[in-house]
């Protein structure tokens, strides 16, 4: 009944999968074909049954920052089942096979935005971070002028791309959950469907790029316009203040500024008034696909030195199951088999604790983790960071 989880074959599958994507997410089969090509046909997987694709997904290779280090993360988008095939366990099979192969390929983490939680929780994903939308009327932007002299605003070109990426990485690694973007995400920041985004950078007197934005404008019925940012990064207070001045200069015709981030955003903390609106767009989910690698690849506070005795119960990825000791020392983690298993985690518990979305003690309250107070409080100190978020949608 389940079929076979296999690579996408453009000659056989493109019409069927484009139809499935269009019927699942709206849009047309033609636009869906463009999206399949943009994601890379080599990143598509299908479930084939009776010689026909009945379910599909797109793999998005990238990473995410946790504890200041980039951890490889395999994103998923475009999970779709043909309407006539729904309700028969196709998507659950697709996701289980996806996870099995991600584990075999030694991806530490998988991530996604979910349209329904039931499906993904069944296979071990759990809430791991936020994405909020901020809206702020231009006339309410009140930021202190930078004291530093010599900043210049530049229109970004393709030549600036390497500097843009290193500016982003320096910014993003400070915020748990932020993506270490791959080509798919980077390309969507410049052009997403009909919207084209223009880049502006802030260079200091030495010529170093210290902040940048990518923006697009939408006319409002009044003839003015809103400005939306697909990306924003800055390295320090002075360049952040100069960035706000650049944005405020849109206020003569600009109505509102829209951008994305976590429960708060460091740029908003530079404003002298709290006049923005915040709306939850989505929580995103992760699944730990290789527990040892995931725990060893992330960073930890260098001030914490402890051993955690974990017992992971993972029916879908048996290679993750069992007792492990996580030794945290000098900002790094090392995992060995064994120990007394005093902290017991389901895959969902491991996901939410790993990201810092829930502390281990909170996850126990939610039935995702068990253990006594002493063990869990030690674990709280290992995973405690600021609330994880990302600005990107995939």
Ligand X SMILES: CC(C)(COP(=O)(O)OP(=O)(O)OC[C@H]1O[C@@H](n2cnc3c(N)ncnc32)[C@H](O)[C@@H]1OP(=O)(O)O)[C@@H](O)C(=O)NCCC(=O)NCCS
Rounded to an integer, what distance in angstroms lies between the CA atom of residue 189 and that of residue 175?
19
Told to check if 88 binds ligand X by CB under 6 A, we report yes
Among 26, 50, 84, 118, binds ligand X (CB under 6 A): 118
* Range in contact with ligand X (rule: CB under 6 A) among 113-121, 130-138, 156-164, 246-254: 113-121
Distance in Å, CB of 123 to ligand X, minimum: 9
Rounded to an integer, what distance in angstroms lies between the CA atom of residue 111 and that of residue 392?
12
Told to check if 87 binds ligand X by CB under 6 A, we report yes
Among 18, 24, 64, 394, binds ligand X (CB under 6 A): 24
**Among residue numbers 119 through 148, which ones bind ligand X (CB under 6 A)?**
119, 122
Told to check if 92 binds ligand X by CB under 6 A, we report yes
* Range in contact with ligand X (rule: CB under 6 A) among 83-91, 230-238, 309-317, 363-371: 83-91
Return phi, psi of residue 15, to 5°.
-65, -45
CB-nearer residue toward ligand X: 116 or 149: 116
Angle between helices 10-25 and 29-39 (to 10 degrees): 120
For residues 276 and 140, the answer to whether their CB atoms sit within 8 Å is yes
CB-nearer residue toward ligand X: 117 or 305: 117
For residues 23 and 83, the answer to whether their CB atoms sit within 8 Å is yes
Distance in Å, CB of 112 to ligand X, minimum: 6
CB-nearer residue toward ligand X: 45 or 214: 45
Told to check if 316 binds ligand X by CB under 6 A, we report no
Rounded to an integer, what distance in angstroms lies between the CA atom of residue 34 and that of residue 143?
41
Distance in Å, CB of 82 to ligand X, minimum: 8
Measure CA 57 to chain center.
17
Nearest CA to 75 out of 209, 188, 212, 230 is that of: 188
Told to check if 80 binds ligand X by CB under 6 A, we report yes
The DSSP secondary structure of 189-211, one letter per residue, reads HHEETTEE-EEEEEE-TT--EEE
Told to check if 90 binds ligand X by CB under 6 A, we report yes
Told to check if 149 binds ligand X by CB under 6 A, we report no
Nearest CA to 202 out of 158, 170, 172, 247 is that of: 247
For residues 114 and 151, the answer to whether their CB atoms sit within 8 Å is no
CB-nearer residue toward ligand X: 101 or 362: 101
144: enclosing H helix or E strand: none
For residues 202 and 184, the answer to whether their CB atoms sit within 8 Å is no
Distance in Å, CB of 25 to ligand X, minimum: 6
* Range in contact with ligand X (rule: CB under 6 A) among 77-85, 224-232, 252-260, 340-348: 77-85
CB-nearer residue toward ligand X: 85 or 231: 85
Told to check if 308 binds ligand X by CB under 6 A, we report no
Start-to-end Cα distance in the chain = 30
Among 41, 52, 86, 224, binds ligand X (CB under 6 A): 86
* Range in contact with ligand X (rule: CB under 6 A) among 11-19, 98-106, 111-119, 263-271: 111-119
Distance in Å, CB of 138 to ligand X, minimum: 34
Distance in Å, CB of 198 to ligand X, minimum: 30
Among 11, 51, 116, 155, binds ligand X (CB under 6 A): 116
Told to check if 115 binds ligand X by CB under 6 A, we report yes
- Count CB neighbours of 300 within 10 A: 24
Rounded to an integer, what distance in angstroms lies between the CA atom of residue 1 and that of residue 192?
37
Distance in Å, CB of 345 to ligand X, minimum: 21
Looking at 26-147, list the stretches that DSSP marks H as alpha helix, in order from N- to C-terminal side. 29-39, 90-104, 117-122
For residues 17 and 78, the answer to whether their CB atoms sit within 8 Å is no
User: What does the binding site for ligand X look like in residue numbers (CB under 6 A)?
Assistant: 24, 79-81, 86-92, 114-116, 118-119, 122
């Amino acid at each position: 009944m389940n079929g076979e989880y296999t690579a996408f074959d453009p000659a056989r599958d493109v019409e069927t999968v484009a139809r499935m994507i269009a019927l699942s997410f709206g849009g047309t089969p033609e636009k869906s074909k463009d999206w399949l090509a943009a994601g890379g046909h080599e990143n598509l997987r299908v479930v084939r049954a009776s010689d026909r694709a009945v379910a599909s997904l797109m793999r998005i290779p990238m990473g995410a920052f946790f504890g200041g280090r980039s951890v490889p993360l395999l994103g998923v988008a475009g999970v779709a089942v043909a309407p006539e095939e729904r309700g028969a366990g196709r998507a659950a099979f697709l996701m289980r096979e996806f996870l099995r192969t991600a584990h075999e390929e030694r991806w530490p983490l998988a991530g996604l935005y979910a349209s329904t939680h039931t499906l993904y929780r069944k296979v071990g994903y759990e809430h791991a971070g936020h994405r909020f939308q901020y809206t702020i009327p231009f006339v309410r932007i009140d930021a202190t002028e930078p004291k530093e002299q010599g900043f210049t605003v530049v229109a970004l070109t393709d030549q600036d791309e390497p500097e843009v990426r290193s500016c982003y990485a320096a910014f993003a690694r400070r915020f748990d959950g932020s993506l270490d973007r791959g080509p798919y995400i980077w390309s969507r920041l410049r052009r997403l469907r009909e919207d084209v985004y223009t880049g502006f950078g802030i260079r200091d007197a030495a010529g170093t790029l210290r902040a940048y934005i990518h923006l697009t404008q939408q006319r409002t019925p009044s003839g003015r316009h809103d400005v939306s940012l697909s990306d924003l990064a800055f390295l320090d207070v002075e360049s952040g203040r100069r960035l706000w001045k650049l944005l405020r200069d849109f206020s003569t015709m600009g109505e509102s500024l829209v951008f994305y981030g976590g429960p708060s955003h460091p740029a908003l903390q530079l404003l002298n008034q709290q006049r923005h609106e915040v709306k939850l767009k989505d929580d995103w989910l992760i699944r730990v696909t290789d527990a040892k690698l995931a725990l060893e690849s992330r960073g930890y506070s260098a001030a914490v030195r402890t051993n955690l005795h974990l017992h992971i119960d993972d029916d879908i990825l048996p290679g993750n199951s069992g007792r492990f000791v996580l030794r945290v020392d000098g900002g790094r983690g090392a995992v060995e088999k064994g120990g007394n298993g005093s902290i017991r985690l389901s895959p969902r518990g491991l996901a939410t604790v790993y990201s810092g979305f829930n502390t281990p003690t909170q996850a126990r309250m939610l039935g995702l983790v068990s253990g006594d107070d002493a063990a869990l409080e030690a674990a709280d100190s290992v995973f405690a960071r600021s609330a994880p978020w990302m600005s990107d949608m995939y």
